[in-house]
């Protein structure tokens, strides 16, 4: 039986990736991004210590693979590799993500058995929803294969908080029903506070980000009671992506604890991370 050994909630943003690429060229971070880099050093160590054999990553595509004419509520990637999406400025100097078809098929079959109607993708291109933060916490070549699960966070109607929580529950059930004796970390990435369009472009709410990070480990039910429109009101439109973190927390047991968390605001988007581990 496979085991969920931990969960990671982490923000993503294109500028995070741009900054990392500049660091690879110059060996330095700009002052506004240095706190993010510094914060991910401990996260990187703790994640490596979990010795994961597989990552299940719940994220949102930003209309780089899907478009408004074909935008599934939940899609799963199944394949040997998941290429990097070109978001308009060319591919970054990073390798494609490694997949594991056996894991992908098992997760898809188990989730469908749990009443999730999935879109199955055998040629899923992945954008900054994963590529922006991943090189901060793992070296290349990527040491751990990934099954990506994309959730619509772009166009209404968005999935409900309970639906996302149930996705996490179903992921845990799927992992525990696998015949492979492997260690799995469930990752959810989205947000944190930011808005990238409209009259409130550029707003963020660091207080909301810190409050959310403090309460998610033991307060999932209370966080789920808050309408997604309220997260959007106080944190910017794209703060809706915080609801993706519910899947990570729900994939863990009630006794899982927070091993590490930090938050900063380098540019446009609130950035933070929460690593939880099973006892």
Confidence of residue 203 (pLDDT cuts 50, 70, 90): confident
Structural domains for the chain = 3-199+216-273 (3.40.830.10)
| Helix 206-215 × helix 228-235 angle, to 10° | 140
Cα 249 to the chain's mean position, in Å?
12
Report pLDDT for 227.
Answer: 96
pLDDT: which is higher, 168 or 202? 168
The rounded distance, in Å, linking the Cα atoms of 4 and 129 is 22
Residue 202 has pLDDT above 90, yes or no: no
Report pLDDT for 218.
Answer: 97
Q: Which residues are catalytic?
A: 128, 194
The rounded distance, in Å, linking the Cα atoms of 267 and 72 is 30
Report pLDDT for 194.
Answer: 87
Are 54 and 184 in contact, with CB atoms under 8 Å apart?
yes
Which residues does 224 contact at the CB level (< 8 Å), separation at least 6? 161, 162, 165, 246
Q: What is the pTM of this model?
A: 0.97
Average pLDDT over residues 184-206: 88
Report pLDDT for 197.
Answer: 75
């Amino acid at each position: 039986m496979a085991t969920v050994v931990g969960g990671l909630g982490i923000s993503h943003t294109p500028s995070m990736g741009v900054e990392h690429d500049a660091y690879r060229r110059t060996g330095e971070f700009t002052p506004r991004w240095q706190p993010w880099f510094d914060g991910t050093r401990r996260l990187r160590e703790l994640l490596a210590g979990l010795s994961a054999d597989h990552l299940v990553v719940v994220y949102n595509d930003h209309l780089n693979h899907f478009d408004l004419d074909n935008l599934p509520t939940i899609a799963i990637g199944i394949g040997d590799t998941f290429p990097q999406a070109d978001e308009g400025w060319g591919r970054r100097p990073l390798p494609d993500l490694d997949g594991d078809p056996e894991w992908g098929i098992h997760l898809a079959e188990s989730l469908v058995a749990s009443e999730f109607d999935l879109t199955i993708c055998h040629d899923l291109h992945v954008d900054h929803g994963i590529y922006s933060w991943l090189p901060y916490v793992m070296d290349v070549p990527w040491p751990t294969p990934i099954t990506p699960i994309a959730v619509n966070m772009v166009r209404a109607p968005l999935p409900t908080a309970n639906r996302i929580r149930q996705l996490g529950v179903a992921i845990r059930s799927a992992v525990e029903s696998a015949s492979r004796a492997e260690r799995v970390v469930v990752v959810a990435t989205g947000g944190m506070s930011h808005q990238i369009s409209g009259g409130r472009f550029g707003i963020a709410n660091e207080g909301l980000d810190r409050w959310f990070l403090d309460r998610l480990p033991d307060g999932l039910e209370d966080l789920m009671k808050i309408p997604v429109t309220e997260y959007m009101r106080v944190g910017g439109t794209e703060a809706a992506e915080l609801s993706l973190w519910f899947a990570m927390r729900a994939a863990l047991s009630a006794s899982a604890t927070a091993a590490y968390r930090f938050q900063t605001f380098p540019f446009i988007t609130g950035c933070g991370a929460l690593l939880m581990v099973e006892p």
